[in-house]
Structure 1
C-alpha cells in the first residue's frame, strides 16, 4: 500500500486512522488528486486575500488539509475518524497548526470564505445540508469546486449544487473521478429543514435524525431486530456502540431502568441525534443517567467496566466496504466488558460475524435469525 502522495511538487506521507497492520487502503483517492491539481494549475490561491480563507468540506484523511499547509483554511467533517486522521497527518507532515481550524459539521461555517473545496459525501441529504449552510456564507465572488467518484455523482447531486449554489457544470472524468464547478448566482434560496422526524408507534417515540444519520427516514430493520431481542438480565452499565440515532440504546433504557446508558458513534450528527431523542422521549430523570460520546469505538474506555454492549456494526467507511471497523468494535468490546459481560450484535447473515466473535471471545451463541439478519451473543469469560 502506497503511503506517499507525490503531487504538485509536494510529497505527503498519509495514513488512515486508526492504523491497521498490513493496510491495503491508501489515505487519499483520485478525487483528492483532481482537486489539488485543479487548484494548483489554476492558481486559485491568488484569489484568497489576507483576511479570507479556503474552506474544505469532507476531507477524508487529510490529503487536502496537509497539501494546503501555506493557506489559511477551515476544514469541516462529520467524522471523528476523519478529524483524527487529519490531525495526525498534519503532525506527520509537520504542518503548521496556526493556519488551520478543524470543526465538526454541526458548527457554523466561517463567513470569510473565498475558495471552497468539497469532497462529495456518500449521503445526499448530508450534501444538501452542507450546501444549504454554505449558501449562507458565500457570495458571487466565491469559487466553489467539488470532486467525487464518477459513480457517486448523479443528476440529483448536480441538482443540489444548482439549487443552493448556482449554475453548475462538470469536468471530464479522470481516474474514475470528476470535478463539479458551481458559479455562485443563486439568490432565491428558501431554507428548508433537512433533519427528519418520524415516529416509532410501538413505543410512541418521536425520532429526530440529523442529515448524516444512517436510516434517517425510518427505523432500520436491523436495529428493530436487535431492539426486539435484547437479553434479559440486570445490566447496570450498558453501551450502545455505533449508536446512530440512538434507538437501540433507548430500547435498553426502557428494558433496564436502572442502567447507565452510554451512546457512542464516530458521527457528530449521530451522537447529537441520540442526545436529542433521549431528551424528547424520556423523563428528565432517565435522560440524566445517560452519556453521549463521539469517539473511535471504545478507544480510551476502561477495561472490564461494562455489563452489556449492544452493536449494529457498520460494514463501510465513507465509500469503502470493509469489515475492519466491526473487527475493531468486537475487540474493543472484549477489552471493556467485565467478566461475564455480554456483547450482543445484529448483522447481515452473509457477514460471518459468528466466526469473528468465536475467535475473539472463544464463544458465540446464535440468539435469533431471520432471512436477512442474525442476532449473536458473546460472553467475556475471563
Structure 2
C-alpha cells in the first residue's frame, strides 16, 4: 500500500486513519490528484489575492489540506475521522497550521472565499446542503471546482450544482475521475429545508435528520430490529455507539428510565440530529441525563465504565467497504464495559460478526434473527 503521494513538486506521506495493520487502501485517490493538477496547472492561487482564501470541502484524509499548505485555507467536513486524519497528516508532513482552519459542516462557512475545491460526497442531500451554505459566502468572481470518481458523478449531481451555483460542465475522465466546473451566477435560489422530519408511530416520536445522516428519510430496518430486541436488565450507563439519528439510544432511554445514555457517532450531523431528537421527544429532566459525543467510537473513553453498549456497526468508510470499523467498535466496547457488561449488536446475516465477537469476548449468543438480520450479545468476563 503506497503512502507517498508525489505530485506537482511535493512529496507527502499520507495515512488513512484509524490505521490498522493490514491496510490495503491509500489515503488519496485519482480525484485528489486530478484536482491538485488542475489547480497548479491553471495557477488558481493567483485568484486568491492578498485577502482571499481557499475553501476545501470534504477532504477525506488530508491530501488537499496538506498539499495547499502555503495558502490561507479552511477545510470543512462532517467526519470526525476525516478531521483527525487531516490533523495527523498535517503534523506528519510538518505543515504550517498558522494559515489553516478546520471546522465541521454545521458551523458558519468562512467569508472572502475566492476558490472552492469540493470532493463530491456520497449523497445528493449532503451535496445540496453544502452548496446551499456555500452560496451564502461566494460571489461572481469565486472559482468553484469539484471532483469525484466517475461512478459518483451523475446528471442529478450536475443538476444540483446548476441549481445552487450556476452553469456547470464536466471535464474528460482521467483515471476514472472527473472534474466539475460551475460558474457562480445570479439566480433565484430555492429556500427548501434539506433536513427531513418523519414520525415513528409506535413511540409517537418526530425524528429530525440532518442532510448527511444515515437512513435520513425513514427508520432503518436494522435499527428497528435492534430497538425491538433490547436486553432486559437494570442498566445504569448505556452507550448508543454509532448512534446516527439516535433512535436506538432513545429507545434505551425509554426502556431503562434511570440510565444515563451516551450517544456517539463520528458524524457531526448525526450527533446533532440525535441531540435534537432527544430534546424534542423527552421531558427536560430526562433529556438532561443524555450525553452527545462526536468521536471515533469509544477511543479514549475510560475503561470499565459502561454496563451496556448498543451498536449497529457500519461496514463502509467513505466509499470503501471495510470491516475494520466494526472490529474497532467491538474491541473498544469490551474495554469500556464493566465486568458482566453487555455488547448487543444488529448486523446483516452475511456479515461474520459472531466469529469476531467470540474471538474478542470469548462468547457470543444469538438473541434473535430474521431473514435479513441477527441480534448478537457478548458479555465481558475475565
Could you tell me the TM-score, scaled by structure 1's length?
Answer: 0.99
Task: Please give the secondary structure, in 2, of the residue aligned with 1:251.
Answer: helix
Q: Which residue of 1 aligns with 2:321?
A: 321
Q: Which residue of 2 aligns with 1:296?
A: 296
- Mapped to 2, the partners of 1:14 and 1:191 lie a distance apart of 40
Is 2:119 the counterpart of 1:112? no
Q: Which residue of 1 aligns with 2:11?
A: 11
> What is the deviation of 1:187?
1.8
The alignment yields a C-alpha RMSD, in angstroms, of 0.6
Q: Which residue of 2 aligns with 1:274?
A: 274
- Mapped to 1, the partners of 2:99 and 2:30 lie a distance apart of 25
- Mapped to 2, the partners of 1:97 and 1:338 lie a distance apart of 40
Stretches of 4+ aligned residues off by more than 4 angstroms: none
Q: Which residue of 2 aligns with 1:348?
A: 348
> What is the deviation of 1:123?
1.3
Superposed, 1:238-257 pairs within 5 Å as: 238-257=238-257
- Mapped to 2, the partners of 1:192 and 1:114 lie a distance apart of 26
Could you tell me the TM-score, scaled by structure 2's length?
Answer: 0.99
> What is the deviation of 1:186?
4.1
Does structure 2 retain, via aligned residues, the 8 Å contact 1:303–1:336?
yes
Q: How many pairs align?
A: 382
Superposed, 1:33-72 pairs within 5 Å as: 33-72=33-72
Task: Please give the secondary structure, in 1, of the residue aligned with 2:98.
Answer: helix
Is 2:228 the counterpart of 1:233? no
Q: Which residue of 2 aligns with 1:306?
A: 306
Superposed, 1:1-382 pairs within 5 Å as: 1-382=1-382
Task: Please give the secondary structure, in 2, of the residue aligned with 1:249.
Answer: helix
Question: Against the structure 1 CA distance between its residues 161 and 186, is the aligned structure 2 distance closer, same or farther, given a 3 Å change threshold?
Answer: farther
> What is the deviation of 1:373?
0.4
Does structure 2 retain, via aligned residues, the 8 Å contact 1:163–1:186?
no
> What is the deviation of 1:23?
1.4
Q: Which runs of 5+ in 1 are unaligned?
A: none
Task: Please give the secondary structure, in 2, of the residue aligned with 1:225.
Answer: helix
- Mapped to 1, the partners of 2:186 and 2:354 lie a distance apart of 52
Task: Please give the secondary structure, in 1, of the residue aligned with 2:367.
Answer: strand
Q: Which runs of 5+ in 2 are unaligned?
A: none
> What is the deviation of 1:286?
0.5
- Mapped to 1, the partners of 2:50 and 2:109 lie a distance apart of 18
Q: 1:281-338: per-residue Cα shift (whole Å, max 9, x none)?
A: 0000100001000000001111111000000000001111111100000000011100
> What is the deviation of 1:22?
2.6
